[in-house]
Amino acid sequence: MNSKVSPPDARRVTVIGAGIIGVCTANYLLKQGFAVDLVDPAIPGSEEQCSFGNAGGICPGSCIPNSMPGVWKNVPKWLMDPEGPLFVRLAYLPHALPWLLRFLVSSRKSRVEEISAAMRSLHRYTFECYEPLIREAGCEDLLHKRGQLFVHESADGPGKGAYGLGLRREHGVNVQILNADEIRQLEPALAPIFKSAVYLPEQGQCPNPGRLVAKLAENAVRHGARLVRARVIGFEMAGNGPVALKLEDGSRMPVETVVLAAGAWSAHLAKMLGDHIPFESERGYHVTVKDADTGLRIQTISADRKFVASPMEDGLRIAGNVEFAGLNAPANMARADVLLNQARPMFKKLEIGEITRWMGHRPGTPDSIPVIDKASRADNVIYAFGHGHQGLIGGAVTGKIVSEIAAGMPTTIDISPFRLDRF
């Protein structure tokens, strides 16, 4: 790692944030011939990053927004249930309310259809964009393509989610409906409590997202990127944008072009550049049961209880929850324990020995899609943040698009749905 900062080269891009979005962006910028600085106080792939502890889903067919028609009917029920998937700390409610209202507004059918199309456009190339990076980084073992299973405890589960299934089909996603016998054949590790399921055979999964970020950061450094362990606290402005980053240690770092990919911390920095973006940390939790030998092969989602069970390199990970409490409140690990209790009946065999618990900050926009755009008041800044529940899926595609914007090239996909001016 290099903590020395040299003067900027002509085609140098400085990426703020080395989570999955930042490291993918760094790799694609290097491919375009840019010199790259990656600035982050955290070690890439470490626990501080949301990219460390996610459920590992890398799903080209992910095109269902969080705010779906009728969501408002479920919100009170979820909020009243202490073991439910949604939680707002009371003291934080006034702060989160404007975001929550925008979230509800995003559930209009016409808007849901636009968002769904945008999600699919971004996610459909996830494998194509990850594969070259993963090959270069020598970590092909970190991408499995075994599909994804949504299980229901009632026989009519898929019928209840018909609108979402319709959206997936409309976007060309392969959707298969399974009965209880078919679930048992496909995933014998599951207890026989599930009566129906939706299987998406073309989805994928990463069995260690933290290691993926670390490997991609190493790959970027091998190709010439400089990793600078520092926190950005502001910008030194001149003319139409920043000429230097102000760092926490009091130093300044000269810049040419800047990519802001600081996950849940991005909106705060964007505000300093004059852009006010509705943004919240959607805090999520996981429990990893070390060396759990359930036999689970396919990432499985409890559609009724809204958590994800993922087979990981080091055991079984149960992930889920959305908690609004801001970036600074301490984690409430009881929420992670709730996830584990809910997951216990799911498996024929689950011996619980050592467990680890984790909380991370999803970078959340109210309409479930990221901001990928130039800053409105700083010509040399590109935004790449707000990937919410799908940042692992969107990482490599976003990196490629950002490198194209930086190079002034046509982008792989139409980026108009991800523009800043939608807010």
Ligand X SMILES: Cc1cc2nc3c(=O)[nH]c(=O)nc-3n(C[C@H](O)[C@H](O)[C@H](O)COP(=O)(O)OP(=O)(O)OC[C@H]3O[C@@H](n4cnc5c(N)ncnc54)[C@H](O)[C@@H]3O)c2cc1C
Of 3, 6, 8, the closest CA to residue 258 belongs to 8
Tracing tokens 């073992």 back to the chain, one arrives at 141
16 binds ligand X (CB under 6 A): yes
41 binds ligand X (CB under 6 A): yes
Q: Which of 124, 226, 389, 400 binds ligand X (CB under 6 A)?
A: 389
Q: How far is the CB of 177 from ligand X (least distance, A)?
A: 22
- Among the residue ranges 37-45, 108-116, 235-243, 288-296, the one whose residues contact ligand X (CB under 6 A): 37-45
CA atoms of 39 and 380, how far apart (whole Å): 17
Q: Which distant-in-sequence residues (6+ apart) come within 8 Å of 165 by Cβ?
A: 158, 175, 198
CA atoms of 407 and 401, how far apart (whole Å): 10
55 binds ligand X (CB under 6 A): yes
Tracing tokens 């991609």 back to the chain, one arrives at 216
CA atoms of 44 and 374, how far apart (whole Å): 25
Backbone φ and ψ for 360, nearest 5 degrees, come out as: -140, 160
Which one, 250 or 408, has the nearer CB to ligand X? Answer: 250
Q: Which of 8, 363, 366, 399 binds ligand X (CB under 6 A)?
A: 363
For 260-297, give the DSSP string.
Answer: E--GGGHHHHHHHTT-----EEEEEEEEEEET------
318 binds ligand X (CB under 6 A): no
- Among the residue ranges 284-292, 323-331, 372-380, 415-423, the one whose residues contact ligand X (CB under 6 A): 284-292
Backbone φ and ψ for 330, nearest 5 degrees, come out as: -65, 155
Q: Which of 15, 26, 42, 139 binds ligand X (CB under 6 A)?
A: 42
362 binds ligand X (CB under 6 A): yes
270 binds ligand X (CB under 6 A): no
136 binds ligand X (CB under 6 A): no
319 binds ligand X (CB under 6 A): yes
State the helix-helix crossing angle for 209-222 and 126-137, rounded to 10 degrees.
60
- Among the residue ranges 64-72, 288-296, 356-364, 403-411, the one whose residues contact ligand X (CB under 6 A): 356-364
392 binds ligand X (CB under 6 A): yes
232 binds ligand X (CB under 6 A): yes
Backbone φ and ψ for 157, nearest 5 degrees, come out as: -50, -55
Which one, 250 or 410, has the nearer CB to ligand X? Answer: 250
Which one, 154 or 232, has the nearer CB to ligand X? Answer: 232
Q: Any idea what DSSP says for residue 365?
A: -
- State the number of binding residues for ligand X (CB under 6 A): 42
314 binds ligand X (CB under 6 A): no
Which one, 49 or 219, has the nearer CB to ligand X? Answer: 49
CA atoms of 96 and 325, how far apart (whole Å): 8
**Contact positions vs ligand X (CB under 6 A):** 16-22, 39-42, 48-51, 54-57, 231-232, 261-265, 269, 284-286, 319, 360, 362-363, 385, 387-393
